[in-house]
Amino acid sequence: MRELEKIVKAKTRMKDPSERLVLLYSRDQIARRVRELAAVISADYSGSDLVLIGILRGAFVFLADLIRQLTIPVVVDFVGAASYGSRTQTSGQVAITKELQVPVSGRELLLVEDIEDTGITLEAIHNALKKLGPRSIKVCTLIDKRERRLVEMPVDYVGFTIAEGFVVGYGIDYADRYRYLPDIYRIEELEERAE
């Protein structure tokens, strides 16, 4: 464990010196919450033909941990979408960058995402998937951040709710950085620059 802590501390130093990371959720808190979500999802979808759809790239870590805690069989696929680039604010334009490989007509879909922010990307993906004829579409997000919500989309399973802030770690990035961190942090100085 001490070796892992040294690696994390060394990696955390590999950041923009003007960005300060503040711990929001530890890996233990995240693991506990993922187990709780998995238990509820397993109960809700018992006996269903469930397809988990991870929204790339941020959700891959969360999805990997979530499926290992489920007690029901599932099929997994991914959809890619981009609306941020290297900015902290969405462009408002969503590009689908990866289509599904698995047929979803008549099946239960659970979209799994890292963070629900503006609702713009989720709405675009939801609308695209709806055209494929699934039986239902629900959403599971690790973090629900309502501060910048522009489009109200129902979120059925929520790991954590935060009021505001730009977060990184546990698969969530800023300009392709910080994804590797095992905990979730808020970037303080970045928030000040974004305003």
Write out pLDDT tens, residues 74-92: 999 999 887 755 455 555 6
Looking at the DSSP bridge assignments, the partners of residue 144 are 116, 161
Give the DSSP H/E element, type plus range, for residue 188: helix 188-194
Place of tokens 């397993």: 42
Q: How many CB atoms lie within 10 A of CB 81?
A: 20
Domains (range + CATH), the chain: 2-194 (3.40.50.2020)
pLDDT at position 191 is 47
H-helix segments, 59-183: 60-69, 120-130
Distance CA 143, CA 141 (A): 5
pTM over 0.85: no
Distance CA 73, CA 67 (A): 9
Residue 117 annotated to the active site = yes
In this prediction, what percent of the chain has a pLDDT beyond 70?
A: 82
pLDDT at position 61 is 96
Tens of pLDDT along 20-37?
Answer: 999 999 999 999 999 999
pLDDT at position 114 is 94
Distance CA 72, CA 77 (A): 16
What are the tokens at 69?
A: 């805690």
pLDDT at position 97 is 82
pLDDT at residue 17 is higher than 60: no
pLDDT at position 176 is 86
pLDDT at residue 141 is higher than 80: yes
Distance CA 177, CA 158 (A): 24
Could you say which of 65, 114, 117, 144 is catalytic? 117
Residues 121-139, mean pLDDT to the nearest whole number: 94
